[in-house]
Structure 1
Amino acid sequence: MSDIMINNMSVNCSKEFDHVDEVMKVLELVFYIPIFVVGLILNIAALAVFCGLLRKKTESAISAIYMINLALMDLVLLLILPFKMHATNHKWPASFHGLCSILEGLYFYGIYGSIYIIMCIAVDRWVAICHPFKSKQLRSPKAAMATCIAVWMLVSASVIPVICNFRKSKSNTFHCFHEFSPEGWKPPIIISVQVFGFIVPALVVVFCSVQIIWTLQQSGQHSPQSRACVKIIYSGLCAFLVPFTPSHLAIFLQFLVHQGAFQDCGTKANLSLFIQIAMCLSNITCCLDAMCYYFIAHEVRNTRHSLRMSILSQRRATNSTSERERGESS
């Protein structure tokens, strides 16, 4: 499920895994320090900007609510990174097991909370662009707030019970974010993580993005603004798939390792390295979200108005033609 789930599979493979651990001690610093610094600055700035938009008109308030919640989820994830870096290089005393479980829970909370908020943003953009006339009934600040509250509650109900079973208290020192119990790798848990934690949200984001792009192209808009919107939607889609696809492939591969599908020490070590690098890269979403989704909200908000005007113009032209034909026939 991440670099925090890598165990030494057997004593015979200890040398290979020790080498991977030494490599990751360096790579984690290379990845996490820039992600932490840049992500913290960008998300705090995003919070400041979008909190100011809450007092603006309805359309801006809707976008601001989603962006604020996305920034908060990213900040939850970011604030755990220093603990992860420390746990990689130091063992914690047995009395810290409770604290470790809380930190692990918050880490996964931030990951899957971000995934579901991004999915909600994609659905909101799809309604705004593809169904502009229904959006007034479907979209409102209250609806956006209720949706975000539901996401926080859903992630809490899903993550907290599972994380509580990941770690068994022991009397000796331990590496936090490592050495999860076998309970965390049971097939029902991994299937749920893969399907509901990634595959379903990914399909929703892809569907909404494709529909928005198709609608913009079919509307006949070829303005620079419309083209910029299409490019930003592509960027947003990549910002979702690039960090999370390798990491969830890594979850599946690590699950196969725990099921005994791989026995060779070299293969296990290579998979261990891939999993840890993939999970390090997945944290880049904290930086990409703050940049990409701000521009998506800005461009889609502007394009929605012009798209509505284009559709209205087309309908008026069609009605005028129909009336003229009826007049000529009479």
Structure 2
Amino acid sequence: MTNCSTKDVDALTQKLDLVIYVPVLVFGLALNIAALVVFCVLLRKWTESSIYMTNLALMDLLLLLQLPFKMHAAHQKWAEDKKLFCSFLESLYFVAMYGSIYTIVCIAIDRYIGINHPFRAKQVRSKQNALIVCILIWVFVMAMTSPIYTFREEKSGNFTCFHEFSSKGWSTEIIVCLEVFGFLLPAGVLVACSIQSVRTLKASKNSDRSRQAGVRIIYSSLAAFLVPFTPCHVAIFLQYLVRNSFISDCKQQQNIALFIQVSMNIANVTCCLDALCYYFIAKEVRSTKETFRLSINRARTNSSSDV
């Protein structure tokens, strides 16, 4: 890429950053702060769902707090003595992104267990277990993103934060782990759990209104994952091909450079898309309780009839 200039792409993405980041920052902060107030103050009783949603809101807030630094870095180079601070911000950004991914997946698993295995749910689902899972998510994503501190070039001079990772950051090992454990594996689990949960809800004897509410919750969670995170991970893979000289055409490199910047901007929109989950959370608590009760009654009836 040394002989292929991306200055025009950089100039365009600087404008796109303002168009996308400012509304996301304003609405995202308002929605997530409101969600924390509802979950931590207004709700009288904590549930497994509200614990996971609180964790998701915290992850979103952490990501939102990095956006002003990303906007500043896009328009101005940073001094050499700020490399460690930059790596710290980059690490927090990816902690928030992949923390959101794993929290959404855990919500889907928790819902799947409750809907499809109501008896086991009583043993597995608890507020304490939900809290432990959230803590483990934080520990896991922090450990997973720790290599970011080694991605800065040792060369002296000013640099662009959130950009200009060294070749180590685009190594095959790093990208394979990122794509598999950061996206493909969580996406597979989420889609599988969502499909099974939707099938169970549609086959249940609940009221149409209850079924529709449950299906909407699942589809909103699926959209909050696939819409923002699929394009950016496709773009990361394409940029890996560029950085490792599998793609050498300058025009393709410029298109990929634009694609990765736009897709990362779209990924940040997840902070607002998660509001769909917040909107349905009250309905989820009520409908999930009804689903559990009816599922347990149905299972007991089937067991009695078999005897």
> Shorter-chain TM-score: which interval?
over 0.9
Amino acid at match of 1:49: V
Compared with structure 1, are the counterparts of its residues 171 and 130 closer, same or farther at alpha carbon in structure 2 (3 Å cutoff)?
same
Pick the aligned partner of 1:292 from 239, 262, 276. Answer: 276
Residue pair 2:47, 2:127 contacting (<8 A) in 1 also: yes
Pick the aligned partner of 2:205 from 220, 226, 229. Answer: 220
Q: Mind listing any 5+ residue stretches in structure 1 that lack a counterpart?
A: 1-8, 324-330
Compared with structure 1, are the counterparts of its residues 315 and 104 closer, same or farther at alpha carbon in structure 2 (3 Å cutoff)?
closer
Compared with structure 1, are the counterparts of its residues 123 and 321 closer, same or farther at alpha carbon in structure 2 (3 Å cutoff)?
closer
Residue pair 2:105, 2:190 contacting (<8 A) in 1 also: yes
User: What CA distance in whole angstroms lies between the structure 1 residues aligned with 2:263 and 2:22?
Assistant: 16
Aligned-residue offset at 1:54? 6.6
Aligned-residue offset at 1:321? 6.5
Amino acid at match of 1:278: S
Pick the aligned partner of 1:38 from 12, 27, 34. Answer: 27
Pick the aligned partner of 1:90 from 73, 76, 82. Answer: 76
Compared with structure 1, are the counterparts of its residues 99 and 133 closer, same or farther at alpha carbon in structure 2 (3 Å cutoff)?
same
User: What CA distance in whole angstroms lies between the structure 2 residues aligned with 1:201 and 1:303?
Assistant: 25
Pick the aligned partner of 1:185 from 156, 170, 193. Answer: 170
User: What CA distance in whole angstroms lies between the structure 1 residues aligned with 2:186 and 2:65?
Assistant: 24
SS at match of 2:118: coil
User: What CA distance in whole angstroms lies between the structure 2 residues aligned with 1:170 and 1:45?
Assistant: 44
Pick the aligned partner of 1:10 from 2, 16, 20. Answer: 2
SS at match of 1:92: coil
Instruction: Provide the residue aligned with 2:39 in structure 1.
Output: 50
Instruction: Provide the residue aligned with 1:194 in structure 2.
Output: 179
Aligned-residue offset at 1:288? 1.0
Instruction: Provide the residue aligned with 2:134 in structure 1.
Output: 148
Larger radius of gyration: 1
User: What CA distance in whole angstroms lies between the structure 2 residues aligned with 1:319 and 1:182?
Assistant: 60
User: What CA distance in whole angstroms lies between the structure 1 residues aligned with 2:32 and 2:196?
Assistant: 28
Identity rate, percent: 49
User: What CA distance in whole angstroms lies between the structure 2 residues aligned with 1:28 and 1:218?
Assistant: 45
SS at match of 1:133: helix
Instruction: Provide the residue aligned with 2:53 in structure 1.
Output: 67
Once superposed, what is the RMSD of the aligned Cα atoms? 1.8
Amino acid at match of 1:264: D
Normalised to the residue count of structure 1, the TM-score between the two structures is 0.88
Compared with structure 1, are the counterparts of its residues 260 and 222 closer, same or farther at alpha carbon in structure 2 (3 Å cutoff)?
same
Instruction: Provide the residue aligned with 1:327 in structure 2.
Output: none
Residue pair 1:94, 1:170 contacting (<8 A) in 2 also: no
Instruction: Provide the residue aligned with 1:301 in structure 2.
Output: 285
Normalised to the residue count of structure 2, the TM-score between the two structures is 0.94
Instruction: Provide the residue aligned with 2:240 in structure 1.
Output: 255
Aligned-residue offset at 1:117? 1.0
Verify: 1:264 aligned to 2:288, yes or no: no
Residue pair 1:232, 1:295 contacting (<8 A) in 2 also: no
Amino acid at match of 2:295: I
User: What CA distance in whole angstroms lies between the structure 1 residues aligned with 2:116 and 2:298?
Assistant: 15
Instruction: Provide the residue aligned with 1:118 in structure 2.
Output: 104
Q: Mind listing any 5+ residue stretches in structure 2 that lack a counterpart?
A: none
Segment drifting more, 28-37 vs 219-228: 219-228
Aligned-residue offset at 1:228? 2.3
Q: How many residues align?
A: 307
Residue pair 1:39, 1:286 contacting (<8 A) in 2 also: yes
Compared with structure 1, are the counterparts of its residues 25 and 218 closer, same or farther at alpha carbon in structure 2 (3 Å cutoff)?
same
User: What CA distance in whole angstroms lies between the structure 2 residues aligned with 1:321 and 1:107?
Assistant: 54
